[in-house]
Amino acid sequence: MDTLLEQIENGTLWQFPGGVHPPQQKSLSNHAPIARLPLPEKLILPLKQHIGANGQLIVSKGQTVLKGQALTQPSGNWSLPIHAPTSGEITNIAAMPSAHPSALPELSIILTPDGKDTWIPLTENTHIDTLSHQALIDIIHNAGIAGMGGAGFPTYIKADSQRPVEFLVINGVECEPYITADDMLMREHADQIVKGIEVMQQLLTPELILIGIEDNKPHAISAMQQACQHNKKILVKAIPTLYPSGGEKQLIRVLTSKEVPSGGIPADIGVLVQNVGTLFAVSEAVFAGKPLIERVVTVTGNTIKRPQNVWALIGTEIKHLLDSQGFEPVDAQRVVMGGPMMGFTLPSVRIPVVKTTNCILAPDNTELAEPGEEKACIRCSACADVCPQTLLPQQLQWFAKGKEYDKLEDYNLFDCIECGACSYVCPSEIPLVQYYRVAKAEIREQKIEQVNAERAKVRFEARKARLEQEQAERKNRHTRSPSRAAKPAAEKAKVADALSRVAKKQGEQSAVQAAIERAKAKKMADGSLEPDNSEVVLERAKRKEQARNYKAQKQTAEVNSNDNKSAVAAAVARAKAKKAAKVSETNDAGDAPVNPPAHAVATEKETATEEDPRKAAVAAAIARAKAKKAAKVSETNDTGDAPVNPPAHAVATEEEAATEEDPRKAAVAAAIARAKAKKAAKASETNDAGEGLANPPAHAVATEEETATEQDPRKAAVAAAIARAKAKKAAKASETNDASEAPVNPPAHAVATEEEAATEEDPRKAAVAAAIARAKAKKAAKLAQANEAEVNNTDSQPIRGTIEPPIDSIDAEQPATEVDPRKAAIAAAIARAKAKKKAKEQEGNDPS
């Protein structure tokens, strides 16, 4: 049995499944040679005209360019540059409608030709044998050549295949009705196409090169056979006319009997396919140095007066091609880019020609009728019978309508070549290919989203792992590493030996140092060496300086702390000066000194001020009271009477003892002292008149009051108020005795005893007792007025002494109000009532 290669050489052909026979309309455009068109007004050059990444712009708006000059440069995988189709100016770079059924805008360069059509300097090559493999690949890459059969795959990728190529298949079938671009190119430029084939042969080194051409193109077949006579590895094969035999997978099956696996590419089975138009562009780039700036386009249809193939510059608007060939539109005119089977209707004739454009079809309404309304599938299986990929178009359409993308992939949707044979034979006029195109686009978008999500997940997990590692490193930064903890015993022994040697060496050094110190001490004992005490002297001087500074700071602090005591002492000194002046006035009048020695009073006051400023104020008030009492005692001595009260120093001793216990008690004691002084003054007046004592001795009353004040501050305040009431009552009683009347009320000490007993029990009872005392005082006043009316001429002299207590004594009473605000208010009201009563009594005694 012959091998596959022998079968191919013997002219054996195979058949692919399915296929249709649409009516041929190639005779409209293949009777005239390829024409040259005049320069258009502008050229629109999309940056992306191929499968892969866009090129990077290297021109700017307003720049002048030459024909063949690169406008972009490759910037990524499968990226190709584009070139200026003619010389002119870059008038704009903006988004323009693309050559796509959606006409979505794409970034494009707008070039305005200058009419000169000036080329850049070209690099020609006559012999490719002198060029290396990489040099040929770079020439093809920089020329911007992409597959011109419809897919737009970058040619340099296929030319640099790393897989062994057994068969190089040249596609000259051109199975679409109406299209004759490849047919006319093979007729007119067969030699250039063969040169391009030889370039690919040098790059790929295939075992055999097969050129497939449909048998409806006899002129092209003969032209290619004649051009290939010198190359024994090139075989021209005429295949039967059947659509879609021009498909890549179908042509491989017909010429080699090999079948491309599902989801695979021809390189997987050792086959590579190139279009005749692509090989012509390779020949132009390698031998003439021209980039891909133009291509052959079939302009045909019943609305075209001169249907013909033309050389169209890349970027020429479709309208310019139609107008050049005498376009006469009809109602509901359609313009199709591509053939009637696989082409698409253009939304506008302002769409530019790109590298994959091979036909512009402008049919009338009878030539290519409008598709009718879609009807329900009748399950005739005609679509499955004509499918060249042996798919199930009916099932795919159901899954596409239901958006069951997983099932679509299970039924090999992406094996569909979108040939349109299924739609062509469908009696229900279902646009099956449109459903497949939409489903493919949605599945691609889903996969892109999934890929992006996976990448984001990987980045997130990597970041999380990095953060956890950094956190663990921070925690373990100060801990002993396991490697250090797991040191072998031998290494530990070495470390111990080293440490022992160091210790031994240090011990030897310490012994030497001790010997040196002993020698120095011996020399010092002999007197031969004097010690250096300079450092000791400096340290001693520093310590002395620090001591002086500390002493100065302490003195400053003491001065600041004694500012308040100094102010009090100054006030006491001023009081002493005033008192001394009064004493001197008294001595000038021939009297004996009334007050005790000033140094004794000063000593008592200074002792009090050293303890507390408040106690100092209380002591000052006590001193003033003592001075007044001493003055009254001296007056009594002048009249030859005995002192009524105990000695002042005894009273002072008791008051000082009280003030040392509590400031509040001290204030109460001061108030009691003032009351005693007033009572003593009144008693002395009574003695001057030759009368006896109406009340008990003052020291007894004071003793009782002091005992009460030592128990409770509140009781002390009540006791003070009672004492004031007693003093006023005693004064009234003395007035009654002056009038030779018997006392109306019981003795004051009895009343005081009862009131004090009540106050010791409860503060409320104390308030009641105070009210009773006020009532008694009013009653005594009325009785005194009655007695005075009877004996009006008994005494014509006013009562000596002041009616109201001195202002300083009132001030001294203020600390007592701190005990309770309510009781203080009551005491103040009592004091005002007493003052008014005394004023009335004085008016009654006034002889006027």
Yes or no: say if 153 and 146 are a contact pair by the CB < 8 Å rule: yes
Question: What whole-number distance in Å separates Cα of residue 604 and Cα of residue 666?
Answer: 14
Q: Which residues, including other chains, have CB under 8 Å from residue 115's CB and lie 6 or more apart? A: 39
Question: What whole-number distance in Å separates Cα of residue 151 and Cα of residue 592?
Answer: 143
- Known binder of ligand: residue 383? yes
Cα distance between the two ends of the chain? 175
Encoded tokens for 665 = 């008690």
Output the DSSP codes for 534-553: HHHHHHHHHHHHHHHHHHHH
Q: Which residues pair with 35 in a beta bridge?
A: 310
- For the chain, give percent helix, strand, coil, nearest 5: 55, 10, 35
| Distance from the Cα of residue 54 to its chain's centroid | 38
DSSP state of 126: S
Give the count of beta carbons closer than 10 Å to the beta carbon of residue 774: 18
**Is the N-terminal amide bond of 164 cis, ω within 30° of 0?**
no
| Distance from the Cα of residue 167 to its chain's centroid | 63
Yes or no: say if 811 and 617 are a contact pair by the CB < 8 Å rule: no
Give the count of beta carbons closer than 10 Å to the beta carbon of residue 757: 12
Q: Checking DSSP bridges between strand 208-214 and strand 167-171, what pairing results, if any?
A: parallel
Burial 462-494 (b: 16+ CB within 10 A, else e): eeeeeeeeeeeeeeeeeeeeeeeeeeeeeeeee
- Per the listing, tokens 């490193």 go with 473
Nearest to 49 by CA among 356, 401, 429: 356
Q: Which residue type is seen at 631?
A: A
- Per the listing, tokens 């308040």 go with 564
- Known binder of ligand: residue 422? yes
- Known binder of ligand: residue 380? yes
| CA-to-CA separations, 637 to 397, 417, 642, 727, in angstroms, rounded | 143, 148, 7, 22
| CA-to-CA separations, 587 to 582, 584, 593, in angstroms, rounded | 9, 5, 7
Question: What whole-number distance in Å separates Cα of residue 773 and Cα of residue 748?
Answer: 11
Laid out side by side, the sheet with 308-313 consists of 35-36, 308-313, 294-300, 359-361, 336-337, 344-345
Give the count of beta carbons closer than 10 Å to the beta carbon of residue 186: 27
Encoded tokens for 696 = 């008990």
Nearest to 8 by CA among 358, 356, 254: 254
- Known binder of ligand: residue 228? no
Nearest to 181 by CA among 273, 101, 278: 278
Give the count of beta carbons closer than 10 Å to the beta carbon of residue 98: 20
| CA-to-CA separations, 495 to 485, 500, 505, 508, 691, in angstroms, rounded | 14, 9, 15, 20, 116
Encoded tokens for 292 = 């891909």
DSSP state of 356: T
The binding site comprises 377, 380, 383, 387, 416, 419, 422, 426
The binding site for [4Fe-4S] cluster comprises 377, 380, 383, 387, 416, 419, 422, 426
